[in-house]
Structure 1
Amino acid sequence: MAGCRFMKREPNGTGAAVTWGLLAAWALHDTEEVVMVPRWVRTQVPELRKRFPRVPETAWRRLESVDAREFATAVAAMAVVVAAAAADGHRTGGRSAVYQTALNAFGLHGLVHLAQAASLRGFTPGSATTPLVVLPFTVWARGRLRGSGVLRPTRPRDLAQGLGFAAAATVATHALAQGVPRRR
């Protein structure tokens, strides 16, 4: 295992698992979403419509219009974003602002999943792997970066940037996926 590229030590002493691990943890988490979202939307939206009558009908129709292929395309596009952030983190020994923002975004988006599940009082796609993968990896990676002296201090602005990064990447990847022609 000592020769394994994934376990290679970075210049500052953090293992490559800290940076490339973001991509691995993200892939495990988003596998849950790819598997669960289409069925969850089909089975839960009718009930959610009744529970939340103030949500505009256009929002429900848009949610129902996302098919499995479009969602998987958005996830694949997000893989490129996360891979680029992980690669930049690896290249800089974890110092990259892009990598650290993506790591913060990953953890914060996990908290959003838990908030969604709590507000709906049940399972939502992403809520199963959040406490098992997303949050533990984020805390572990931040601890390793902190121990290596490369973690930037986290200010409220950094949390806002992380949430903004996650939101912008989600909107962009879903917009891209909508533009991919569907087979008839």
Structure 2
Amino acid sequence: MRRRAAALLFAAWAAHDAEEWFAVGPWTRAVAEGRVDVPAWARRIPFLREPTSDRRQRAAIVAMGALIGSAAAAGAATRGRSQWYRAGVTAYGIHGVGHLLASVAVRGYTPGVATTPLTVLPYAVWALRTNPHRVTARTLAVAATSLPVSLAVSHAIGGAVERRLDQGWRASNSASATASASASRRTWASSAWCTRSALAARSPQSDR
């Protein structure tokens, strides 16, 4: 049971983040463009003032998945005793409450809120209640620390991946433009050579 509960942490997270995978980018762009009505104070939040690209958000989700996977693996290996696993479940539940509060604050939908009451909160409550290794003050401290740190790290990774992809795209375009210009020069030179050759071939005939 405890190993299954630990393994289900990743499954519950994946079901929840599937919503964010498809919703975060379009929603932040809609907010930035004024197509979604949110309070004025919310528009001053950098996350909402600047739209998030799909690839940045999805890279961040993959990075977070690695952290969640490590917590689930630790829980399965220790039958729920791992401090990292228990802190992960606790942080997962706290983050679900954050989703609900965010939707209340903006008076509408926010990405992740739809699956929070279906996967996040039910799983967190069940996993913590069925685990004989109770949440301690240390567990809460680890959860309270790891939640913002993991979010910051995953989004930093997402930003780094996006910048790397942008650099690769610009380099590829630059290389393509250079190759195209070089091909054009070769074509022009070849055409000029053919023209000169044709004129040279006609010159003796003209003299006769």
1:101–1:158 CA contact under 8 A, matched in 2: yes
* Letter aligned with residue 39 of structure 2: R
1:82 aligns with 2:68: yes
1:109–1:163 CA contact under 8 A, matched in 2: no
CA distance in 1, matches of 2:101, 2:16: 16
Calculate percent identity across the aligned residue pairs. 33
Change beyond 3 A, Cα 1:58–1:88? closer
Which residue of 151, 155, 166 maps to 2:134? 151
Change beyond 3 A, Cα 1:16–1:54? closer
Residues 13-64 of structure 1 deviation map (CA, whole Å, 9 limit, x = unaligned): x342210111000000011001111111121234479732586485544x31
CA distance in 1, matches of 2:4, 2:160: 34
1:37–1:125 CA contact under 8 A, matched in 2: yes
* Letter aligned with residue 153 of structure 2: A
Task: Provide the residue aligned with 2:10 in structure 1.
Answer: 23
TM-score by length of 1: 0.80
3-state SS, counterpart of residue 75 of structure 1: helix
Where structure 2 has 5 or more consecutive residues not aligned to the other structure, the ranges are: 170-208
**How many Å apart are 1:161 and its aligned residue?**
3.3
**How many Å apart are 1:79 and its aligned residue?**
0.6
CA distance in 2, matches of 1:133, 1:160: 24
Task: Provide the residue aligned with 1:3 in structure 2.
Answer: none
Residues 94-133 of structure 1 deviation map (CA, whole Å, 9 limit, x = unaligned): 0100000000000000000000000111110010000111
Q: How many residue pairs are counted as aligned between the two chains?
A: 164
CA distance in 2, matches of 1:173, 1:137: 22
* Letter aligned with residue 142 of structure 2: Q
**How many Å apart are 1:75 and its aligned residue?**
0.3
Q: Which has the higher helix share?
A: 2
CA distance in 2, matches of 1:98, 1:37: 27
Which residue of 61, 67, 86 maps to 2:53? 67
1:49–1:60 CA contact under 8 A, matched in 2: no
> Relative CO higher for 1 or 2, CA cutoff 8 Å, sep ≥ 6?
1
Considering only aligned residues, what root-mean-square deviation do their CA atoms show, in Å? 2.2
Where structure 1 has 5 or more consecutive residues not aligned to the other structure, the ranges are: 1-13
